[in-house]
């Protein structure tokens, strides 16, 4: 493993010194929007989550890479994050599940990393100042500063087009169910597909698929997936959903939650530093139960102005909307990740709710 001195320079001029690992871009510079994730394990699932397109992930857990990587934990075939930041990189992988090590995985997928960083200081800085564009690498500090100053954030960017599937494909049901589910891929995770497949055959289609094309597949329900970037920049998906609402049940997760809210007339706004981690408390207002949830989003929804919409979930840390339902249109969505890859499984009942909604609509 080749390790060289490297530097992080944020757009506000803040500098962190460390060491490079993983892929080495020819320019010696990696740019993106810096965010932090608080999971204690599950680094491979986080890195391979398409929702991180355009972002550089800072892991708050101090030791990353200790149990290696394996094919089962992949959330996408091609990880789309720009890079990762760690405090201490494990020198070896030790797990009976390991099929390789993290550094080789990053090199294989062209992802740069920087270690030896005071991630507590960096996380506090992002918490106090919000997600910040920046650059890191082995180039000179002046070159990195120039790159950081011009690095784009996620605001105003439609990154869904860069991660959605190019061709439709089918995931067979794992339960023998006769239900047909169309999943609109905005950056869908493999664990979501595994959960959906328990309730029917899943037809995964590109984000650009029209309502007419979706209905031609005769779905019992339509699922709208997670995805990266600014939801306000993805105008075509809410238009598609407006044409589907009232015709077929709809369930959305994360970006899908934001797309469904927009289709119903709601708005989205950017959080200061987002929610990224596996320990966020959410109250299900329909049962009054508190769930510990997995989350990964920079944007939230405001549905207060939408008629006939019930808020079903609230984040107990900041009271942001975590879920809503429109009963008359057989539609609901949540901002958190009930599939939890990685994270707790408290919210997996939501897939069962979707199945029950499809069955009621079919009867």
Active-site residue (options: 74, 107, 322, 339): 339
- Of 159, 155, 213, 157, the closest CA to residue 184 belongs to 213
Determine which helix (DSSP H) or strand (DSSP E) holds 126, and give its type and residue range. Answer: helix 119-129
Task: Give 293-332 as a 3 state SS string.
Answer: EEEEEEEEEECCCCCCCEEEEEECCCCCEEEEEEHHHCEE
Active-site residue (options: 254, 257, 276, 336): 254
Contact 131, 52 (CB under 8 A): no
Give the phi and the psi of residue 360 in degrees, each rounded to 5: -65, -40
242 Rama sector, left if φ>0, alpha if ψ -120 to 50, beta otherwise: alpha
Helix (H, G, I), strand (E, B) or coil at 45: helix
Bridge partners (DSSP) of residue 112 are 22, 83
Annotated catalytic, 81? no
Instruction: Indicate the burial class of 327 (C-beta count within 10 angstroms; 0-12, 13-18, 19 or more).
Output: exposed
Annotated catalytic, 254? yes
CB environment 89-114: b (16+ within 10 A), e (fewer): bbeebeeeeeeebbbebbbebebbbb
Helix (H, G, I), strand (E, B) or coil at 13: coil
Residue 282, preceding bond cis, omega within 30 degrees? no
Rg (CA), the chain: 20
Location of structure tokens 């990696």 = 30
Helix (H, G, I), strand (E, B) or coil at 248: coil
Integer Cα distance of 344 and 337 in angstroms: 10
Contact 329, 246 (CB under 8 A): yes
What residues are labeled active site?
A: 254, 337, 339
């Amino acid at each position: 493993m080749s390790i060289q001195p490297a530097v992080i320079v944020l757009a506000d001029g803040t500098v962190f010194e460390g060491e490079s690992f993983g892929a080495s871009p020819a320019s010696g510079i990696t740019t993106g929007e810096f965010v932090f994730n608080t999971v204690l394990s599950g680094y491979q699932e986080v890195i391979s989550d398409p929702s991180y397109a355009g972002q550089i992930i800072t892991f708050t857990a101090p030791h990353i890479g200790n149990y290696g990587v394996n094919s089962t934990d992949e959330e996408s075939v091609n990880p789309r994050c720009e890079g990762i930041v760690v405090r201490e990189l494990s020198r070896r992988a030790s797990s009976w599940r390991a099929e390789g090590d993290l550094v080789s995985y990053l090199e294989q997928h062209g992802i740069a990393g920087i270690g030896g960083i005071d991630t507590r200081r960096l996380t506090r800085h992002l918490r106090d100042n919000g997600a910040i564009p920046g650059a890191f690498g082995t180039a000179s500090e002046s070159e990195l500063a120039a790159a950081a100053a011009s690095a784009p954030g996620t605001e105003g960017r439609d990154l869904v087009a860069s991660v959605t599937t190019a061709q439709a494909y089918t995931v067979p049901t794992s339960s023998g169910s006769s239900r047909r589910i169309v999943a609109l891929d905005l950056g869908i995770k493999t664990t979501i597909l595994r959960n959906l497949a328990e309730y029917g055959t899943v037809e995964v289609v590109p984000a650009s698929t029209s309502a007419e094309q979706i209905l031609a597949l005769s779905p019992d329900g339509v699922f709208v997936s997670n995805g990266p970037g600014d939801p306000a920049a993805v105008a075509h998906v809410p238009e598609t959903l407006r044409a589907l609402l009232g015709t077929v049940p709809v369930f959305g997760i994360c970006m899908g939650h934001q797309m469904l809210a927009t289709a119903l007339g709601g708005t989205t706004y950017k959080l200061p530093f987002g929610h990224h981690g596996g320990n966020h408390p959410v109250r299900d207002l329909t049962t009054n139960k508190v769930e510990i949830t997995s989350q990964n989003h920079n944007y939230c929804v405001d549905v207060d102005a939408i008629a006939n919409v019930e808020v079903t979930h609230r984040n107990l840390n900041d009271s942001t909307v975590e879920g809503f339902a429109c009963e008359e249109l057989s539609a609901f969505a949540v901002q958190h990740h009930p599939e939890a890859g990685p994270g707790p499984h408290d919210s997996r009942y939501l897939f069962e709710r979707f199945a029950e909604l499809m069955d009621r609509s079919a009867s």
